[in-house]
Amino acid sequence: MELTELNEHFSRVLAALKEDHAASTIDLWFKDSFVADFDGRTVTVALENVITLITKDDVAAEESSIFVSAPQPYVAKQEEPAPDENDSVVGSGYTFENFVVGSSNKVAHSACIAVAERPAGTINPLFLYGPSGLGKTHLLFAIVNSLRKRRPRTKVRYVTGEQFTNELIDAITKKNTALFRSRYRNLDMLLIDDIQFIAGKMVIQEEFFHTFNTLYQLQKQIVLTSDKTPKEIEHLEERLRTRFEMGLIADIQPPEPELRTAIFKQKTQSLGLDLPNDVLAFLADNIRSNVRQIEGAVKKLWAQSFITSEEITLDMAKSVLSDYFSKERSKITPDLILEMLSKRYGMPTDEIKGNRRTANTVYVRHMAIYLIREYTDLSLNNVGKIFNRDHSTIISAYKGVEARLKNDSDFNKDLHEIKAELDEK
Ligand code: ADP
Ligand code: MG
């Protein structure tokens, strides 16, 4: 979207705000402000002296940009209930009901429901892992929201690994670790998001070890998430690793095509958009790596149709979301992929394309073949030409990667990161 358009919209938002709040209050904050930048997800508004990022792709804060969500919800959000006594900041909009389930996330989803229904029943701890943007935080929030509704007396605390760390450091500095302990050890359920953050931090791991043991012995529920399995988290103390592995470990994988379509449907409907099937199919086909991206695309479409009052057609989708597709369709060339891999693994492109058979080289070569097949329209023969191999070698490399993706989560994560990087090109 163009900045001029955004600024027109921004003025309208300000005008709308002035209807509900004193104009002087709005002016205090927003006088002479304007939209300075928009990257599809984050709007940067320049205030008189400072430049502030209005929105952050941050689920915990449950904020979205005042442009990509309607002006009304923005105002409404100011009135959301203050965080409860447990002072966990949990977005109330994240529920089990609005989590779309498919084969890539159904184990994680049902485990979370089970934990919400019967805390410390059979699954303890519950450990969710998977690449970023696939719904781990959403599921934790859903557990908390479901408990708050059905069992408001349950003492629940949601924090990120980083918050846990900061709170503990704070407590140590202020010499009130007793308070910290009572806060964490008297809970019915503790959820820690991105627990990998504490790895490598000795004091924090030590404290968490005792927190974990206390809660576990009292038969309280513990839920953890991470971007990796306990085994794969580097510098994690062994005694923590074994504890993380005591309950259920459930993974979340990138959404399969059917799930992508279903998520697109749900996200568009929740914004009151009705997308024709061809547009849905096209989106699901092209926006693949994570759900956050899907949301970004839907919000862009919403903003466009809001501003122009036009219905969304395939052509409009293609042009509004050209940034998303061009990279997947045309900007991404075999050379670009090879260069990226070369940089990432510190391996000359000639080696990737060449005949060396060491495990490392073959790993990168197969990755390259797979990505070129996924991102470009080259025929098997033409891909073969790049690597000086025939098309049957290309097929078997591709199949090898597909198979490996199913049972090697390290590999999976590596590929996911590469795709995310390519999607940003
Ligand atoms: P993670 O914590 O794994 O990085 P998040 O939970 O922050 O991912 O998810 C990113 C965004 O995608 C959130 O806005 C979330 O609501 C949405 N999302 C992820 N998975 C789903 C799903 N299956 N159905 C609906 N929304 C989803
Ligand atoms: Mg998260």
pLDDT for res 415: 87
The CA 291 to ligand 1 mean position distance, Å, reads 6
Say if residue 141's pLDDT is above 90: yes
Element (H, E) at 21: none
Q: Which long-range contacts link 228-236 to residues 24+ away (Cβ below 8 Å)?
A: 228/129, 228/196, 228/409, 228/410, 228/413, 229/129, 229/409, 230/127, 232/409, 232/410, 232/413, 233/196, 233/199, 234/199, 234/200, 235/199, 235/200, 236/196, 236/199, 236/200, 236/205
Instruction: Please say if the pLDDT value at position 48 is more than 60.
Output: no
100 close to ligand 1 (CB < 6 Angstrom): yes
The pLDDT, as a whole number, for residue 62 is: 34
What mean pLDDT comes out for the span 27-41? Answer: 70
pLDDT in tens, 328-340: 555 788 999 999 9
134 lines ligand 1 (CB under 6 A): yes
User: Are 108 and 139 spatial neighbours (Cβ–Cβ below 8 Å)?
Assistant: yes
295 Cβ closer than 6 Å to some ligand 1 atom: yes
Amino acid sitting at position 183:
R
Ligand 1 neighbourhood includes 99 CB (under 6 angstroms): yes
**Residue 346, pLDDT score:** 93
Over residues 366-385, the pLDDT tens digits come to: 999 999 988 877 788 889 99
d(C-alpha 375, C-alpha 327), whole Å: 8
d(CA 97, CA 242): 33
SS3 category, 88: coil
Q: Which ligand is nearest to the CA of 289?
A: 1
Q: Give the number of domains in the chain.
A: 4
What is the crossing angle of helices 277-286 and 257-270, to 10°?
A: 120
Rg for the chain, CA atoms, rounded = 24
CA of 253 to the centre of ligand 2 (A): 14
More confident residue, 39 or 384: 384
251, 277, 297 — which closes off a domain?
A: 251
Instruction: Tell me which residue has its CA closest to atom 23 in ligand 1.
Output: 100
Q: Are residues 264 and 286 in the same domain?
A: yes
Give the DSSP H/E element, type plus range, for residue 46.
strand 43-46
Does a structural domain hold residue 30?
Answer: yes
Asked if the structure places residue 67 within a domain, the reply is: no
pLDDT tens per residue, range 77-127: 333 333 344 556 788 899 999 999 999 999 999 999 999 999 999 999 999
Measured at the CA of 191, the angle between CA 187 and CA 195, to 5 degrees, comes to 130
Is the preceding peptide bond at 81 cis, omega within 30 degrees of 0? no
Q: Per-residue pLDDT tens for 265-280?
A: 999 998 888 889 999 9
Specify if 201 maps to a domain. yes
Ligand 2 midpoint to CA 274 (Å): 28
Is ligand 1 within 6 A of the CB of residue 132? yes
Q: Which residue has the higher pLDDT, 94 or 24?
A: 94
Query: Given ligand 1 and candidates 63, 65, 97, 138, which is best to mutate, with the most ligand atoms within 8 Å of its CB?
Result: 138
Q: Which domain holds residue 238?
A: 85-251
Are 123 and 114 within 8 A, CB to CB?
yes
10 and 55 share one domain: yes
Site to probe by mutation for ligand 1, drawn from 68, 101, 134 as the one with most ligand atoms within 8 Å of Cβ, is 134
Is residue 68 in some structural domain? no
| CB-ligand 1 contact for 384 (6 Å cutoff) | no
Q: Of residues 132 and 21, which shows the higher confidence score?
A: 132
Q: Which atom of ligand 1 is nearest to the CA of 266?
A: 25
Same structural domain, 40 and 98: no
Ligand 1 atom with minimal separation from the 59 CA: 7
Domain boundary among 279, 299, 325: 325
Nearest ligand 1 atom to the CA of 194 is: 2
Of 2 and 246, more confident: 246
**Looking at 46-60, 110-124, 274-288, 308-322, which range is the least confident one?**
46-60
The CB of 260 under 6 Å from ligand 1? The reply is no
Q: Is residue 369 part of a domain?
A: yes
Q: From CA 191, how far away is CA 200, in angstroms rounded? A: 20
Residue 244 tokens read as 């993380």
Q: Is the CB of 263 under 6 A from ligand 1?
A: yes
Q: Is residue 244 part of a domain?
A: yes
- In this structure, the number of other CB atoms found within 10 A of the CB of residue 106 comes to 13
Determine whether the shortest distance from the Cβ of 204 to ligand 1 is under 6 A. no
What distance in Å separates the CA atoms of residue 98 and residue 268, rounded to the nearest whole number? 12
Is 345 contained in some domain? yes
User: What is the rounded average pLDDT of the residues 25-45?
Assistant: 69
Q: Is 69 left (phi over 0), alpha (psi -120 to 50) or beta?
A: beta
Cα distance between residue 287 and residue 325, in whole Å:
8
> Do both 9 and 32 map to the same domain?
yes
The residue contributing the CA closest to ligand 1 atom 9 is 135
- Judge whether 101 and 109 are in contact, CB under 8 Å: yes
Same domain, 286 and 405: no
390 vs 328, more confident: 390
Give the residue from 204, 225, 251 where a domain finishes.
251
Together in a domain, 58 and 101: no
* DSSP E strands, 121-237: 126-129, 156-160, 189-193, 221-226
Residue 22 pLDDT:
64
- The answer to whether position 383 is within a domain reads yes
